[in-house]
Amino acid sequence: MTVNLSEQELVRRHSLEEIRKLGIDPYPAETYEVNVSAKGILDNYEKRKQDYKNVSIAGRIMSRRVMGNASFLELQDVTGRIQLYIRRDEICPGEDKSLYNQVFKKYLDIGDIIGVKGYVFTTKVGEISIHVSELTVLCKSLRPLPIVKEKEGETFDAFTDAEQRYRQRSLDLIVNAGAMDVFVKRSKIINSIREFLNDKDNLEVETPILQPLYGGAAARPFKTHHNALDIPLYLRIANELYLKRLIVGGFKGVYEFAKDFRNEGMDRFHNPEFTQMELYVAYKDYNWMMDLVEEMVEKVALDLHGKTKITVGENEIDFKRPWKRLTMFEAIQTYAGVDISNMDEKELFKTAQSLGVHVDEKMGKGKIIDEIFGEKAEANLIQPTFITDYPVEMSPLAKKHREKEGLVERFEAICNGKELCNAFSELNDPEDQRERFEHQLELGKRGDEEAMVLDEEFLQSLEYGMPPTAGLGIGIDRLVMIMTNSHSIQDVIFFPQMRPKGEHSRTPKK
30-76 pLDDT, tens digit per residue, is 999 999 999 999 999 999 999 999 999 999 999 999 887 889 999 99
Question: How far does CA 418 lie from the centroid of its chain?
Answer: 15
Residue 118: the pLDDT is 96
Looking at per-residue pLDDT, the higher value among 99 and 288 belongs to 288
* CA dist., res. 238 & res. 360, Å (int): 26
User: Is the Cβ–Cβ distance between 392 and 380 less than 8 Å?
Assistant: no
Residue 40 and residue 187 in one domain: no
In whole angstroms, give the CA distance from residue 379 to residue 331.
11
β pairing state of 210-211 and 469-475: unpaired
Q: How many helices (H) and strands (E) does the chain have?
A: 14, 20
Question: Are β-strands 253-261 and 203-204 bridged in parallel, bridged antiparallel, or unpaired?
Answer: parallel
Residues 443 and 300 in one domain: yes
Q: What is the pTM of this model?
A: 0.90
The whole-angstrom separation of Cα 370 and Cα 367 is 5
- Rounded Cα–Cα distance for residues 38 and 177 (Å): 14
pLDDT at 158: 52
Q: Are residues 128 and 187 in the same domain?
A: no
Residue 80's contacts (CB-CB under 8 Å, 6 or more residues apart) are 37, 38, 39, 42
DSSP conformation class of 323: P
Query: Exposure pattern of 447-470 as b/e (b: 16+ CB <10 Å)?
Result: ebebbbebbeebeebbeeebeebb
What is the tally of structural domains in the chain? Answer: 2
Contact 328, 378 (CB under 8 A): no
Q: Do residues 311 and 443 both lie within one domain?
A: yes
**Cβ 289 vs Cβ 251: under 8 Å:** no
CATH code (residue 94) = 2.40.50.140
Name the DSSP class of 320: P
Three-state SS at 136: strand
Q: Residue 318 pairs with which residues in a beta bridge?
A: 309
Query: Which residues have CB under 8 Å from 506's CB, separation 6+?
Result: none
For residues 64 and 117, membership in a common domain is answered with yes
Q: Are residues 184 and 92 in the same domain?
A: no
**Residue 433 to residue 458: CA distance in whole angstroms:** 10
Q: Verify that 114 and 183 share a domain, yes or no.
A: no
Mean pLDDT across the chain: 91
Contacts of 160 (CB under 8 A, 6+ apart): 148, 176
* CA angle in degrees (0–180, nearest 5) for 351-352-357: 155
Phi, psi dihedrals of residue 253, rounded to the nearest 5°: -150, 130
DSSP 72: E
Domain around 198: 179-248+275-323+383-491
Residue 167 lies in a domain: no
Q: For position 297, which CATH number holds?
A: 3.30.930.10
- Is a pLDDT exceeding 50 seen at residue 508? no
The C-alpha torsion from 262 through 266 and 271 to 272, rounded to 10°, is 30
Q: In this structure, are 111 and 202 located in the same domain? A: no
pLDDT at 227 over 50: yes
Please say whether the beta carbons of 275 and 262 come within 8 A.
no
Any domain includes 41: yes
Cα–Cα distance list, 137 to 68, 176, 450, 458, 493 (Å): 21, 24, 55, 59, 32
Residue 217 dihedral angles phi and psi, to the nearest 5°: -165, 165
CA distance 218 to 422: 12
Domain check: are 242 and 389 in the same one?
yes
- The pLDDT tens digits for 263-307 are 988 889 999 999 999 999 999 999 999 999 999 999 999 999 999
DSSP annotation string for 275-289: EEEEEEEET--HHHH
Q: Is the pLDDT of residue 510 over 50?
A: no
Question: Do both 239 and 108 map to the same domain?
Answer: no
Closest CA to 245 of 467, 432, 458: 458
77 and 15 assigned to the same domain:
yes
C-alpha distances out from residue 257 to 104, 146, 209, 234, 327, Å: 47, 35, 12, 19, 28
Assess if residue 328 is contained within a domain: no
Q: Taking each helix axis as running N to C, give the angle between helix 179-199 and helix 286-305, from 0 to 180 degrees, rounded to the nearest 10.
A: 140
Residues 302 and 445 in one domain: yes
Residue 159 has pLDDT above 80, yes or no: no
Residue 150 identity: E
Domain membership of residue 377 (yes or no) is no
DSSP H helices, 119-258, are: 162-167, 169-175, 179-199, 240-248
Q: Is 111 inside any structural domain?
A: yes
Peptide bond into 322 cis (omega under 30): yes
Percent helix / strand / coil, the chain, rounded to 5: 35, 25, 40
Q: What is the pLDDT of residues 355-405, one digit of tens each?
A: 999 998 888 888 899 999 999 999 999 999 999 999 888 888 999 999 999
pLDDT band for position 507 (cuts 50, 70, 90): very low
Task: Give, in order, the Cα–Cα distances in Å from 99 to each of 13, 67, 91, 470, 477.
Answer: 18, 20, 10, 68, 50
